[in-house]
Amino acid sequence: MAVTKTIDSVSLSIEVQKALDKAGDPIYTKKTFSGIKTDATPENVYAISDAIKGVLEANTRDYFINESSSLANA
């Protein structure tokens, strides 16, 4: 059985600091940007993430690529 995976959509999420907890530790939320090309390289997505980080007022932490794929039995 040959199963193929096809990427349907890709989005980018960046963890952005939204507040501090009672102990003074940062609390993060994710900002998501959709419409990333399905063939975008990790290096290009990282470069875009860094550019977005540069214009955000809040501190940021990690970057994530979120893929939605479909599977088909060929």
The pLDDT profile of the chain, 74 residues, written as one tens digit per residue, is 799 999 999 999 999 999 999 999 999 999 999 999 999 999 999 999 999 999 999 999 999 999 999 999 97
Task: Specify the pTM.
Answer: 0.83
Enclosing domain of residue 58: 3-73
Query: What is the number of structural domains in the chain?
Result: 1
CA 61 – CA 27 distance, rounded (Å): 10
Going by the DSSP 8-state scheme, the letter that residue 40 receives in this structure is -
Write the CB contacts of 50 (distance below 8 Å, at least 6 apart in sequence).
none
CA 19 – CA 24 distance, rounded (Å): 9
Per DSSP (E only), the strands in 1-74 are 3-20, 26-36, 60-73
